[in-house]
Structure 1
Amino acid sequence: MSVPLYKKPFKLSNIFNGQDIDKQDVGASISQYIELIIFTRYGEHRFKPDFGCEIWDLDFELIISESMWEEKLRQSLLRSITHYEKRIYDVNIDVHIKEVNKFYPLRNVSEIKKKVEIVVSGKMQQTGENYVFTTSLFLSPLSA
């Protein structure tokens, strides 16, 4: 019998009304766990200080070489995902930085932000199916 995978955040109203908690499939569960790894800073988890990734340390670092920055983040994510997410294998990670320029005509202000696109691919242990997770994050907003 397989262990149920619960959808987060939990709807406590369901529990108080005697209903079951919403469940999700293994792919969605893996995606939520990878998001947790991305959004956790090293040392934030008291009992697993190496859980998380380096993006929070790299966020305010002056980016001299985008390719070196991308590779540092890619290696950090690869270490954490292969160590902590055992439900996927043959993990491949792509990280790309893009500059996004948004102009607000009413305020006559232009904002330049760095957008990091992360793609995690691999195969699911249970079924051997291909697995792909993508997300984008904005870093260090600049305005002029």
Structure 2
Amino acid sequence: MSDLLYQKPFRLRNIFAGKELDITDTGRSISQHIELIIFTRYGEHRHNEDYGCEIWDLDFELVVSERIWEEKFRQSLQRSIMRDEPRLDRIEVEVKMSEVEKLFFGRNISEIKKKVALTVTGIVQSTGEHYSFNTALFLSPLCS
């Protein structure tokens, strides 16, 4: 198996032009894999029904308690990363939900969306380095 880590998204035109795919470092590769886990719904991966996380099921769930919602998502994501990202140890996931108001200038319209801030930390097994990943998602409909 090759030790090369490829940059996402793949630039297939490079292959057709006889060039190599772009490569990346371990930290960026782990981050890309975590993004893939977040944006994959359970059952979507044809060869592994357990791959992904619960955000898709929770996205349209009526949020009665933000703390309960945050904890359900945190546990789902942490389980998935621990199971599917073997390059990380001592994985911790933090989820924080807030409301964000978006103003549409010129139309006197505002929209309030739920924003979910995610932080994943751990230790890279091969180097012992500290690892940190941060992103934010907007719910209903889910977008980043």
- What are the equivalent positions in structure 2 for 1:113-128 lying under 5 Å apart? 113-128=113-128
Separation (CA, whole Å) in 2 of partners of 1:46 and 1:12: 22
Q: Which residue in the other structure is 1:93 paired with?
A: 93
C-alpha displacement at 1:104, in angstroms? 1.9
What are structure 1's unaligned runs of at least 5 residues? none
Q: Which residue in the other structure is 1:136 paired with?
A: 136
Q: Which residue in the other structure is 1:78 paired with?
A: 78
Instruction: Specify the code of the residue in structure 1 equivalent to 2:72.
Output: K
For the residue of structure 2 that corresponds to 1:78, the secondary structure is helix
What is the TM-score when the length of structure 2 is the normalising length? Answer: 0.93
**Aligned CA-pair RMSD:** 1.4
Matched, 1:10 2:10: yes
- Structure 1 runs, 4 residues or longer, greater than 2 Å off: none
Separation (CA, whole Å) in 1 of partners of 2:52 and 2:17: 35
State the number of aligned residues.
141
Instruction: Specify the code of the residue in structure 2 equivalent to 1:93.
Output: V
Instruction: Specify the code of the residue in structure 2 equivalent to 1:87.
Output: R
Instruction: Specify the code of the residue in structure 1 equivalent to 2:39.
Output: F
Instruction: Specify the code of the residue in structure 2 equivalent to 1:41.
Output: R
Separation (CA, whole Å) in 1 of partners of 2:116 and 2:34: 15
What is the TM-score when the length of structure 1 is the normalising length? Answer: 0.93
For the residue of structure 1 that corresponds to 2:121, the secondary structure is strand
C-alpha displacement at 1:105, in angstroms? 3.4
Provide the identity percentage: 61
